[in-house]
Structure 1
Amino acid sequence: MTISVAVSGASGYAGGEVLRLLAGHPNVTIGAITAHSNAGSRLGELQPHLHGLASRILEDTTVENLSGHDVVFLALPHGASAEIAAQLPAGTVVIDAGADHRLQDASAWEKFYGSAHAGTWPYGLPELPGQREALKGATRIAVPGCYPTSALLALTPGFANNLLLPDDVVIVSASGTSGAGKAAKINLIGAEVMGSMSPYGVGGGHRHTPEIEQGLSNAAGEPVTVSFTPTLVPMSRGILTTATAKVRPQAGRSVTEAELRQAWVDAYDDEPFVHLLPEGQWPTTKSVQGSNHAVMQLAFDQHTGRVIVTCAIDNLTKGTAGGAVQSMNIALGLDETAGLNLQGVAP
């Protein structure tokens, strides 16, 4: 089975990562490659690492250029995908790497993004309970945010098994600078970033907060409240998320660390890309760089009654493009790992 694929936003980090993965996909022919302000440029000038596609000329991001493909990836700024997606044929598989179709609550979208809600699509994180079935045959898919990918993978097994309390969840994530996109920003230049860490979106202001709460609430079957703080670290790619929640007593007794660990083992033992590390080994961002893998470890702080889960992903791969390709594979009935059999890069 060979499918034709178009990629918009191909001059940016997310679009470039989608192309990197698709270039090695055994079932894919890459059709239109589009951009907005960079239309007319040679791809190799903007994405010099994509050697096999370097001579391709970027077309303008229009419905006409994207139509006629089996799959369209929209790697566009938040708020830009919905208008184009609405005009693409119903039978085309449209995969939105932006935020436009992730949230179920229209009021949350309007509060954090300041525009009209475009609707909700199946969520492209197959490791969540029930999501593989929701993705099979889907023609519209919303790729999760990079922070929510790591946070939801970290805590969902606990909430899905009624092991965690919903009202005191604290998540702190450290991310590389590529998560902010390719546009020039003073706070992201080398002189500002090298040798320095900084927080942002503090106090519940980050746009991924409602998405994390949505996913954990769906798993728990009740509202979950999250305090989320992102930080910027001096590396180009990767996320290290530390997520903690209070453990719920079971039938009047305390839960053991072994019981907690078993819930994560049961959730991920058969997953091709999500791994609970052996006891005593902790995640590093370098171990998953360039791959669609997520690695995690947990501990039970008995003094505070909290479970602590640390999860590492590559924000551009599992956090964006890898999750998008994985979801495409499921939607079309392809091997879920096709185009994604990449290991991490070291040192």
Structure 2
Amino acid sequence: MGIRVAVAGASGYAGGELLRLLTGHPEFDLVAATAHRQAGQPLDSVHPQLTGLDPTFAATTVDVLADADLVFLALPHGESAALAARLPAQVRVVDLGADHRLVDGDAWTRYYGGTHAGAWTYGLPELPGQRERIATATRVANTGCYAATIVLALAPLIAAGAADPADVVVVAASGTSGAGRAAKTHLLASEVAGDLSPYKVGAHQHVPEIKQATGATGLSFTPVLAPMPRGILATVTARPTGEVDPRAVLAPAYADAPFVHLLPEGRWPHTAATLGGNACHLQATVDVDSGRLIVVAALDNLGKGAAGQAVQNANLMFGLPETTGLSCFGVAP
């Protein structure tokens, strides 16, 4: 028996992707997958891609989860904290929700509402020093999907003093799975197909997380819903502090990062190339007219933006190579 793993909220999109990754992981053994309304139902009744996976959904209770060595919480924002607080201290937890990402309680109240549950170790290994912090943590807060994309594009530029942290503008498009599995009229195929639409303009909940992780002090973020199931493409622009080659900053920052790839000059990221993998693809240039730095980033919002990132963090927490059970390669066409 390997490391015993449970997934709470396993009926959602991120939960389903976690289950898929765990079935191929050489060290993690799935012992429980929990849900609310689907409790008692076979896993493949909700996730047909997992046909043949034996367990049924259990109810989401502390008793079910506490028997594991590691628990992934793939629950809606605001639902993880109360459950995590009741789990035994020896059970390691990776929370895919937002409950423990923010250090600033006022920022939590402003963007999410309710009581701030406190911050855990932030789960983005590619940030300086973060691998070491994650490796010694028992509680890790996984990044938000937009946040992962934008932070990877922006953080090295601000850290190097190459970009003005007070002047950052981001436009990013995400597939519909980023909104979760709950039935919503604006996510129906007839509403989404052939359409691009902005949402939460000027008030997206990932803004304080991005600022916290990058050191940005002024951030304008416009998210866009794209007619595709999964994937994020972010265009990040910032005012340079001088003569800057953004590629020369990004290349050394990710030289030892197995899942972050700065593409060869002239090749731009696109979402299909990251589908099903745990990679983030980056490209950068300087706008010839405005002089602004431009970084374009693509990743799978259910991979590096959620489940893949969670497994990467869990690997580090248990002293495994961070690549264990994960691929940096996408599935195409």
| TM-score between both structures, scaled by the size of structure 1 | 0.94
CA distance in 2, matches of 1:162, 1:91: 40
| Structure 1 equivalent of residue 263 of structure 2 | 277
Q: Which one of the candidate residues 237, 240, 247 is aligned to 1:244?
A: 237
| Structure 2 equivalent of residue 230 of structure 1 | 223
| Structure 2 equivalent of residue 208 of structure 1 | 206
| TM-score between both structures, scaled by the size of structure 2 | 0.98
Identity among equivalent pairs (%): 55
CA distance in 1, matches of 2:112, 2:274: 30
SS of the equivalent of 2:249 reads helix
Q: How does 1:287-306 map to 2 (within 5 A)?
A: 287-306=273-292
Determine if contact 1:100/1:118 at 8 Å carries over to the other structure.
yes
1:42-63 deviation line (CA, Å, top 9, x unaligned): 111000101341x321110010
Determine if contact 2:78/2:99 at 8 Å carries over to the other structure.
yes
| Structure 2 equivalent of residue 43 of structure 1 | 43
The AA in structure 2 aligned to 1:133 is: E
The AA in structure 1 aligned to 2:314 is: M
Q: How does 1:1-347 map to 2 (within 5 A)?
A: 2-53=2-53, 55-203=54-202, 205-217=203-215, 224-249=217-242, 255-257=243-245, 260-341=246-327, 343-347=329-333
Determine if contact 1:247/1:307 at 8 Å carries over to the other structure.
yes
CA distance in 2, matches of 1:307, 1:74: 37
SS of the equivalent of 2:321 reads coil
| Structure 2 equivalent of residue 252 of structure 1 | none
CA distance in 2, matches of 1:232, 1:112: 19
| Structure 2 equivalent of residue 220 of structure 1 | none
SS of the equivalent of 2:48 reads coil
CA distance in 2, matches of 1:96, 1:191: 33
Determine if contact 2:247/2:283 at 8 Å carries over to the other structure.
no
SS of the equivalent of 2:30 reads strand
Determine if contact 2:93/2:139 at 8 Å carries over to the other structure.
yes
Determine if contact 1:147/1:319 at 8 Å carries over to the other structure.
yes
Runs of 4+ off more than 4 Å: none
**CA displacement at 1:40 relative to structure 2:** 1.1
CA distance in 2, matches of 1:171, 1:301: 15
**CA displacement at 1:311 relative to structure 2:** 0.2
The AA in structure 2 aligned to 1:20 is: R
What CA RMSD, in Å, does the superposition of the two structures yield over aligned residues?
Answer: 1.1
**CA displacement at 1:256 relative to structure 2:** 3.9
Determine if contact 1:137/1:333 at 8 Å carries over to the other structure.
no
1:253-307 deviation line (CA, Å, top 9, x unaligned): xx142xx321101011221100000000000100000000000100112432210
Structure 1, gaps ≥5 residues long: 218-222, 250-254
SS of the equivalent of 2:121 reads coil
CA distance in 2, matches of 1:187, 1:72: 32
Determine if contact 1:44/1:56 at 8 Å carries over to the other structure.
no
